Structure 1
């Protein structure tokens, strides 16, 4: 499954970069995130509770940041296990482009799921993935705008 898109963030690139690397901001913005902890400068562990169609599960995952070119781009990859519900893994290339006082965030992600989640069908999973991405970016945009005013 591929998900890509572009979001306009109402903040300068340095502020957006900082927010993308702030575990507390990310925890607040990731739908269903119960915990997110940085274990090294490039690694995080997380617990996320999500529901896709009739399948709900708590996923324990690991996230790695690579190809870091601050404050311009990085690759974020992760894998989560949700017990009987299955697993999810994927990676996204994230690029930040300055546009005046705002930032354009472009992302291209690839993901795959297994277990019960995979049995739901690609249309439902694609739809749910896009909805979760939209919710993340709406919350992230609001958090960055609020953070920039403090």
Structure 2
């Protein structure tokens, strides 16, 4: 499975970068996330409870960051397992770029799934990825907004970040990030 997309977040690039590397921000943003642990500056682990069609399971996964170019991007390599429900592994290239007073997260993902997940069909997996991506980006934007980022010009409040958090192409960074590892993320993202 290959996916590409981009997402605009209404926050400065450094703020988005910091949040994409923060375990609390990831936990608050990932659908079904029960735990995110930052093992090191380049490694995260996560536990997620997911439902993909008829498959319901808890997944454990790890993501490693490489090719780090702060605050411009990195490569995520991840894998996750949900026991008999299946597994996922993949890689995502993530870049951040300025867009006015916001940031665009662009990503390219290559992922494979196996077990029961591979048997339920690409259409259902894609629909679930779309839903999870939308939820991730909405939650991520809301998390940043709650943390006080950003303010508009002249001290006026910016439009709600969640209102700008719509998935550009129906695919998800976190299906690529942790959702690839079965749904870590990160983004964005």
* DSSP 3-state at the match of 1:148: coil
Q: Give TM-score scaled by structure 1 length.
A: 0.95
**Residues 1-150 of structure 1 correspond to what in structure 2 (within 5 A)?**
1-149=1-149
Aligned residues: 150
Q: Displaced runs of 4+ in structure 1, greater than 3 A? A: none
Is the CA contact (8 Å cut-off) linking 2:11 and 2:149 kept in structure 1? no
Q: Normalized per residue, which structure has more strand?
A: 1
Deviation at 1:71, TM superposition (A): 0.3
Take 2:90 and 2:38, find their aligned partners in 1: how far apart are those partners? 19
Is the CA contact (8 Å cut-off) linking 1:62 and 1:80 kept in structure 2? yes
Deviation at 1:101, TM superposition (A): 1.2
Q: Give TM-score scaled by structure 2 length.
A: 0.76
Q: Which runs of 5+ in 2 are unaligned?
A: 151-189
| More divergent stretch after superposition (127-136 vs 55-64) | 127-136
What's the Cα RMSD here? 1.3
Take 1:99 and 1:53, find their aligned partners in 2: how far apart are those partners? 36
* DSSP 3-state at the match of 1:135: helix
Deviation at 1:149, TM superposition (A): 4.4
Is the CA contact (8 Å cut-off) linking 2:63 and 2:76 kept in structure 1? yes
